[in-house]
Amino acid sequence: MRARFLFVFLLLVAPVATAQPADRKSQLLNSRHDFRATSRAPTRAVDTADACVFCHTPHNANPAERLWNRPLPAQPFPVYSSSTLAASIGPMTAEDASKLCLSCHDGTIALGETISSGMLEFVQGRGYTLPPESAANLAAGQGFSDDHPYAFVPVPGPEIQMPPPGDAVRLDARGRLQCTSCHEPHEEWRDPAVGKFLVKPNPASALCLSCHRTAGWLHSSHRTPPDPVANLRYTEAQGAHTGYLGVSNNGCESCHRPHAPQVGQRLLKFPEEQVCYTCHDGSVATTARNIRAEFQSKLYTHPVSVTPSVHDAAEAPASARHPLPETSLATPRHVECADCHNPHAATATEAQPPNVSGSLTGVRGYSSSGDHLSRSANEFEICFKCHADSVNKPQRNDATGSGIGYGRNPLRQHDLGNPEAFNTRIEFHMLLSYHPVTRPRNLSIGPGGEVPSLRSAPVTPAGAPLPRRTLSPTSYIYCTDCHNNDTGRNLGTLSGPTGPHGSNQPHLLERANALEPPPAYPGEFTPGVSYALEEYALCNKCHDVEGSVLRDQSFPEHRKHIRDQNAACSTCHDPHASSTPMLINFDLSVVGPNSLGALEYRRTGFRQGTCSLRCHGKDHIRTPY
């Protein structure tokens, strides 16, 4: 009986409890919008007793709607635009309530200017307008191009929803987003940490999420940093502007700012990599994720700090303005953090090759068959965005092979006159022999196999197996197994960040892979590389150089070439791929044609072949093994 009574009672109460709380106008008193002479607000009138008159009048209002009592803004300012914005942002119309807000906040009309009572004098002076240096003057600087758009109809899509019914965030009667969708001008402190007249509390960007359903955000490390201590290191001193502490609670505003960010498009707080460096400079994220140091201290980097090198989120093969892969030689190369990372979706999850790890989750890519992917499943697909079919790859312009900022480039035998030279997608996916990046190699291993040198797991520089990794005929490897930080966790013992951000090894290699100094003429004598295992640390990661290669387990002349004659692995082998078996693709800056004009490796059988070439002054005429 009692339970039933309770149920009826709850039924009666429930609608009241869930109803949208109406806006209480008297909350305005003593807020920053209370301009009475007796208000506690610093900006206020000299002797006006009435709080409402600064915006409203009961009679003869203009415009009538909301009984407005102020002249309306007339000065045009640039509005927000972005290459990924689906909605169209036009000029404000007379019906847009935002116009009322901007009658103070565009900085052109005095705060004391009223229709009913003329000019009301302010403590700050008669005719006081919001000065350009005031954060409340939204038009100062870049106009409204650096403010969240307003007075427009949002277009729902995969990442944009209409605010749900009952949400404090509301569109106006015509379905348009206005200043008042996010701000309730009569109540300053609904969010006790932020203020700013927000319509609801905004911890973890709850207010933004009423409309923005950014893919991947729910599980992102940037929503919930895996290290709770690092999370809380993001403070006002580190650039947190909301009043909240920590990356988690600052949410979107750890990187974005709805008004007056430094970069208008996509409302980024700082340009490009500077946003990421806010935390990834060792100050907030752990030193294991100090990425800034990589870019700033290493000899070879993905040059994100080169400006203007601009990533655009609209990049795609079909994009007219931002085609990627690039279709014109004249298009400058670019790379930014966001080319490889999706900060909304990144996680700390580990993965096995070829799959993307958490830090590369949700990034667009380019498949091994040349298709645009909205979400890369494999790591190489991200690399292929720029290192495959783009026509502006820098090696094209590197006639001397000296390397333009990335180290000496071997002049490969099969690259001469090859339009697809340096197209890593073609290399790895189409050629005869290849490292297993996009497809497994299926060569026999072990003593007596075709690749007897292959280890059962990649090893650290000290020789210990890397955790959670194995090698087999069917295994894949990552691009980043070779191109990676030379001082990162990827080396097994050190604590630096992983990933090909920067390295002191040419070609952004993780470990050394020595090249021979070219002789004056190809084929002539060169001192080569005097042998030490460290010179080939990279190859030794997966191939047992001293336990197998130098013991001549595959090619019986390996020891003679490498130890005795100081030849380098790279002089004969192309570490990516080759249209000749066994990754043979001679470096033509070292190797030349023989006295008969021939330059060729020919495989004649299992562990059998002939070489026609001249190298270190030594003529090979179909020299067999």
Residues of this chain that interact with another protein (CB under 8 A) are: 19, 21-26, 29, 36-38, 49-53, 56, 58-62, 64-67, 172-174
- Are 549 and 543 in contact by the 8 Å Cβ rule? The answer is yes
Closer by beta carbon to another protein, 25 or else 266? 25
The rounded radius of gyration (Å) of the Cα atoms in the chain is 32
Closer by beta carbon to another protein, 53 or else 509? 53
113 strand-pairing partners: 119
- Are 85 and 55 in contact by the 8 Å Cβ rule? The answer is no
Closer by beta carbon to another protein, 24 or else 333? 24
Which residue, among 479, 505, 501, has the nearest Cα to 489 in the 3D structure?
Answer: 501
- Closest contact distance (angstroms) between CB of 177 and another protein is 13
Per the omega criterion (within 30 degrees of 0), is the bond before 15 cis?
no
Closer by beta carbon to another protein, 174 or else 618? 174
User: Helix/strand/coil (H, E, C) string of 503-564?
Assistant: ECEHHHECCCCCCCCCCCCCCCCCCCCCCCHHHHHHHHHHECHHHHHCCCCCCCCHHHHHHH
Q: How far is CA 402 from CA 287, 398, 407, 410, 514, in A?
A: 34, 7, 7, 8, 14
Tokens of 607: 């562990």
Closer by beta carbon to another protein, 95 or else 227? 95
Closer by beta carbon to another protein, 170 or else 614? 170
Which residue, among 96, 52, 39, has the nearest Cα to 73 in the 3D structure?
Answer: 96
- Closest contact distance (angstroms) between CB of 51 and another protein is 5
- Closest contact distance (angstroms) between CB of 44 and another protein is 12
Which residue, among 505, 511, 588, has the nearest Cα to 542 in the 3D structure?
Answer: 511
Closer by beta carbon to another protein, 47 or else 236? 47
Closer by beta carbon to another protein, 71 or else 317? 71
- Closest contact distance (angstroms) between CB of 405 and another protein is 59
- Closest contact distance (angstroms) between CB of 118 and another protein is 12
Strands (E), 66-130: 113-114, 118-119
- Closest contact distance (angstroms) between CB of 170 and another protein is 10
35 three-class SS: coil
Tokens of 444: 């026999």
- Closest contact distance (angstroms) between CB of 2 and another protein is 29
- Closest contact distance (angstroms) between CB of 7 and another protein is 23
Closer by beta carbon to another protein, 86 or else 119? 119
- Closest contact distance (angstroms) between CB of 116 and another protein is 10
363 three-class SS: coil
Which residue, among 137, 136, 112, has the nearest Cα to 124 in the 3D structure?
Answer: 112
